[in-house]
Amino acid sequence: MYNVAQVLEEKCVAKKGCRLCIMYCPEANCLDLNVTKMVAEVNINRCKGCELCVVVCNAAKHNAIEMQAVSASGKLMSHKGESAALGQAYQG
């Protein structure tokens, strides 16, 4: 099990022009703008779990990214977008 970044869509302000996490993510094709939803979106298959996106998003006081556990098979242990996700990011 390892951790990947997940954007909390209800908190992301990409629709207002924020692209901080996208600019800072060191992995190519990992963090991108979902132009349909206008929120930042993590490709969990590319995320290396460095948490840089969390740092820059929190530094800008958006707090819209959290790390979530992923199983060995690559499945999120809890689904993004659930309102219960906050505070339940780590499940072991």
The one-letter code for the residue type at 9 is E
The owner of tokens 């740092």 is 55
> Which conformational region is residue 72 in: left (phi greater than 0), alpha (psi within -120 to 50 degrees), or beta?
alpha
Q: Strands 39-42 and 31-34, how do they pair? A: antiparallel
Q: Which of 29, 38, 53, 91 binds ligand SF4 (CB under 6 A)?
A: 53
In the bound complex, what is the minimum distance in angstroms from residue 17's beta carbon to ligand SF4? 9
Q: Is 70 in the site for ligand SF4 (CB under 6 A)?
A: no
Q: Is 14 in the site for ligand SF4 (CB under 6 A)?
A: yes
Pick between residue 5 and residue 70 the one whose CB is nearest to ligand SF4: 5
Q: Which two tokens stand for residue 46?
A: 């590319």
Pick between residue 49 and residue 76 the one whose CB is nearest to ligand SF4: 49
Q: Which SS3 state, helix, strand or coil, does residue 84 take?
A: helix
Residues that bind ligand SF4 (CB under 6 A): 5, 7, 12-14, 18-21, 25, 27, 30-31, 40, 42, 47-53, 56-57, 62, 64-65
